[in-house]
C-alpha cells in the first residue's frame, strides 16, 4: 500500500491552499484519534489503519463544490467521502475506503442519500469498526472552514442536532467510549 502522504501527493500535486487545508485538518483528526486510542488500550484498535484512515478520510474533497474551503469541483460536498472511497478502492485500500465513505456526520443513511439526491446506492453508510467510528468521532471536533478552532463536546452536539437526534446520540456513545 502507498503511504497516506504518497496518496495525497497523487491527487494534490500542488502545494496550494486546498492541500494545506486538507493536511492541516487531517493531521488534527489523526492526532485526536491516536490520542483517544492511546487512552483506551483495552480497545482492539489497529493504530496503523487508524492513522491511514484519519489522514485519508477527506481525500475526495477536491472534486466537490465548496469554494469557501478552496474546493472547486462539481460534486455535492456530501459526496467527498464516496469520492475518496472510490479513489482508495482503485488503489486497493478497502479498509481506508470504508473509513472515507462512513465518516460524514455520524454516517449517512439511505434516507439522507435519497433526500439529498446523492449519486450513490441509497443504503446506510454508518461507521461499524472501531477505526471507522474513531475517525468519524475525531473528525467532528474540527472544521475545514474554521481550521484553527477546536470544537467542544457541547458544540459538536449542537451542530449535529440540526440533522436529528440519532446523530447526537451516536456521538454521545462514541464520546463515552473514546472521550
- Is the Cβ–Cβ distance between 144 and 112 less than 8 Å? no
- pLDDT at residue 49, rounded to an integer: 98
CATH number at residue 172: 1.10.3210
* Residue 172 pLDDT grade (very low, low, confident, very high; cuts 50, 70, 90): very high
* pTM above threshold 0.75: yes
Residue 136 has pLDDT above 90, yes or no: yes
Q: 65-77: string of b/e by CB count within 10 Å (b at 16+)?
A: ebeebbbebebee
C-alpha cell at 96: 481506508
Rounded to whole angstroms, the Cα distance separating 41 from 38 reads 6
The confidence score (pLDDT) of residue 162 equals 84
CA dist 42 and 178 (Å) reads: 11
Domain count, the chain: 1
Query: Which H, E and C letters describe the chain, residue by residue?
Result: CCCHHHHHHHHCCCCCHHHHHHHHHHHHHHHHHHHHHHHCCCCCCCHHHHHHHHHHCCHHHHHEEEHHHCEECCECHHHHHHHHHHHHHHCCCHHHHHHHHHCCECEECHHHHHHHCCCCCCCCECCCCHHHHHHHHHHCCEECCEEEEECCHHHHHHHHHCCCHHHHHHHHHHHHHHC
Q: How many CB atoms lie within 10 A of CB 148?
A: 8
Q: Which of 56, 163, 156, 35 is nearest to 99 (CA)?
A: 56
Tell me the pLDDT of the chain averaged across its residues: 95
Residue range(s) defining the domain that contains residue 148: 4-178
- Sort strands 142-143 and 65-66 into parallel, antiparallel or unpaired: unpaired
The number of residues making up the chain comes to: 179
Instruction: Tell me the pLDDT tens digit for each residue of 45-68.
Output: 999 999 999 999 999 999 999 999
What is the rounded distance in angstroms from the CA atom of residue 62 to the CA atom of residue 150?
A: 23
**Per-residue confidence (pLDDT) for residue 116, from 0 to 100:** 83
Residue 117 has pLDDT above 90, yes or no: no
Amino acid at each position: 500500500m502507498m503511504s497516506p502522504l504518497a496518496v495525497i501527493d497523487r491527487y494534490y500535486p500542488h502545494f496550494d491552499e486546498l492541500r494545506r487545508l486538507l493536511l492541516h485538518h487531517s493531521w488534527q483528526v489523526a492526532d485526536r484519534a491516536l490520542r483517544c486510542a492511546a487512552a483506551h488500550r483495552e480497545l482492539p484498535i489497529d493504530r496503523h489503519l487508524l492513522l491511514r484512515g484519519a489522514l485519508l478520510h477527506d481525500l475526495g474533497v477536491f472534486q466537490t463544490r465548496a469554494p469557501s474551503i478552496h474546493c472547486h469541483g462539481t460534486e455535492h460536498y456530501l459526496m467527498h467521502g464516496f469520492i475518496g472511497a472510490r479513489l482508495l478502492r482503485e488503489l486497493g485500500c478497502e479498509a481506508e475506503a470504508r473509513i472515507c465513505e462512513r465518516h460524514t456526520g455520524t454516517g449517512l443513511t439511505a434516507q439522507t442519500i435519497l433526500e439529498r439526491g446523492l449519486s450513490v446506492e441509497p443504503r446506510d453508510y454508518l461507521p461499524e469498526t472501531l477505526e471507522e467510528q474513531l475517525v468519524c468521532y475525531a473528525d467532528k471536533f474540527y472544521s475545514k472552514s474554521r481550521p484553527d478552532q477546536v470544537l467542544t463536546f457541547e458544540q459538536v452536539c449542537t451542530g449535529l442536532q440540526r440533522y436529528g437526534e440519532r446523530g447526537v446520540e451516536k456521538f454521545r456513545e462514541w464520546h463515552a467510549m473514546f472521550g
